[in-house]
């Protein structure tokens, strides 16, 4: 069963019980992503790292050519 099937079952049940319909799947996706981003920034501040630039720093570390040992 996928999210659409579950939504249809929940909508049917809510209609039968006279309750408000549940939100459509995907309604709160952006809000969840923003909350996850804020939480990760908060955790970085707690451990003493900069709150911004983590992704850029990680990419720079991966893409920077390493000096060769002669």
Indicate whether 30 pLDDT > 80.
yes
**What's this model's pTM, rounded to 2 decimal places?**
0.54
Q: Name the strand (E) or helix (H) holding 4.
A: helix 3-17
How confident is the prediction for the chain on average, in pLDDT? 88
Where do the structural domains in the chain lie, given as residue ranges? 3-50
* Higher-confidence position of 10 and 45: 10
Our separate counts of H helices and E strands in the chain read 3, 0
């Amino acid at each position: 069963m996928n999210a659409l099937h579950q939504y249809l079952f929940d909508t049917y049940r809510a209609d039968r019980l006279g309750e408000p319909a549940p939100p459509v799947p995907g309604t709160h996706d952006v809000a969840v992503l923003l909350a996850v981003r804020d939480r990760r920034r908060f955790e970085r501040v707690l451990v003493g790292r900069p709150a911004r630039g983590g992704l850029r720093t990680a990419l720079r570390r991966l893409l920077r050519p390493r000096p060769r040992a002669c």
